[in-house]
Amino acid sequence: MRFVRYGEKGAEKPGVLDADGGLRDLSGVLPDLAGDVLANLPQITPEALPKVDGRPRLGVPVAGIGKFIGIGLNYSDHAAETGMEPPEHPIVFMKATSSITGPNDTVHLPRSSRHADWEVELGVVIGKPAKYVDEADALSHVAGYCVVNDVSERRFQSKLSGQWTKGKSCDTFGPIGPWLVTPDEVGDPQELSLTLDLNGERMQTGSTSKMIFTVAQIISHLSEIMSLQPGDVIATGTPPGVGMARDPRRFLTEGDEMSLEISGLGRQTQRVLQD
């Protein structure tokens, strides 16, 4: 199933896509796509639900996200392009929940930002609590998968002293969506292709098969450190092609347009504005 939330920001309703990609209203079945609902997403026939006319704005497909967790340097080919050694354990950082925005909403660069970068990533949404989870059982805690753009201000990230969080948490730096796709429809999360285009030019091409730490390993590792709760989102790292690793380096400027896609998870597109 492909679940969505649609409508104006702050007033989104739950929805689901039918077999033809049409949007159906799910609000008569459940109040929202959040919390404990994610552990038992309804098995329904979308065609039996009311059809939503027009092309409403799509919001973040999960409401009430408690934690937005990032995994750094998690693709072997991305590590190679940066000249860094693959990490022994997952690199973990947090993105502020205030960075979260809809999949096609505008990305706003902070006033002093001159080194903002793009990162297409597989997002994992937790469906049921996870604490001390074995790798073999980890994927049973997943409600679904989605596309994430881990927008990153590289100067904030590495030059302002402190942790990566500074460069990862700016407002609108966390587009999520368009869909929450259930695991049965995704299949093996380690066999997905990822792409990102900037102004129509291909920047990133990758495969989750190149992850250093798999989705199951990441969930197991995190659950040893902190409890994972329904609605938590994990951005699992990015493939090669980021702006900071290009020669010459290339960063986002006002008027740019990013378009990201992961096989089976849909496409998101953002226009860039400078505050």
pLDDT of residue 159: 76
In a domain, 42, yes or no: yes
pLDDT of residue 272: 98
CA distance 84 to 104: 32
Q: What is the pTM of this model?
A: 0.96
Tell whether 84 and 42 lie within a shared domain: no
How many other β-carbons are positioned within 10 Å of the β-carbon of residue 205?
Answer: 15
Tell whether 200 and 134 lie within a shared domain: yes
In a domain, 115, yes or no: yes
In a domain, 53, yes or no: no
pLDDT tens across the length of the chain (275 residues): 999 999 999 999 999 999 999 999 999 999 999 999 999 999 899 999 999 999 999 999 999 999 999 999 999 988 888 888 889 999 999 999 999 999 999 999 999 999 999 999 999 999 999 999 999 999 999 999 999 999 999 998 877 777 788 999 999 999 999 999 999 999 999 999 999 999 999 999 999 999 999 999 999 999 999 999 999 999 999 999 999 999 999 999 999 999 999 999 999 999 999 99
In a domain, 62, yes or no: no
User: Strands, DSSP E only, in the chain?
Assistant: 2-6, 13-17, 23-25, 68-72, 91-94, 100-101, 107-109, 116-117, 120-126, 142-149, 152-153, 174-175, 180-181, 193-198, 201-207, 233-235, 257-262, 266-274
Tell whether 43 and 135 lie within a shared domain: no
| Domain span including residue 262 | 68-274
| CATH for 172 | 3.90.850.10
Tell whether 255 and 214 lie within a shared domain: yes
pLDDT of residue 80: 87
How many other β-carbons are positioned within 10 Å of the β-carbon of residue 208?
Answer: 24
Nearest to 181 by CA among 271, 66, 265: 265
Tell whether 44 and 78 lie within a shared domain: no
DSSP H or E segment with residue 260: strand 257-262
Tell whether 189 and 222 lie within a shared domain: yes
In a domain, 57, yes or no: no
Tell whether 146 and 257 lie within a shared domain: yes
CA distance 76 to 126: 25
Tell whether 236 and 145 lie within a shared domain: yes
Contacts of 131 (CB under 8 A, 6+ apart): 223, 227, 228
Based on the structure, what is the number of domains in the chain?
A: 2
Tell whether 11 and 145 lie within a shared domain: no
Q: Are 275 and 111 contacting, i.e. CB atoms less than 8 angstroms apart? A: yes
pLDDT of residue 160: 79
pLDDT of residue 24: 98
Tell whether 133 and 173 lie within a shared domain: yes
Tell whether 25 and 106 lie within a shared domain: no
In a domain, 54, yes or no: no
pLDDT of residue 165: 86
In a domain, 262, yes or no: yes
In a domain, 247, yes or no: yes
CA distance 108 to 178: 19
Tell whether 127 and 17 lie within a shared domain: no
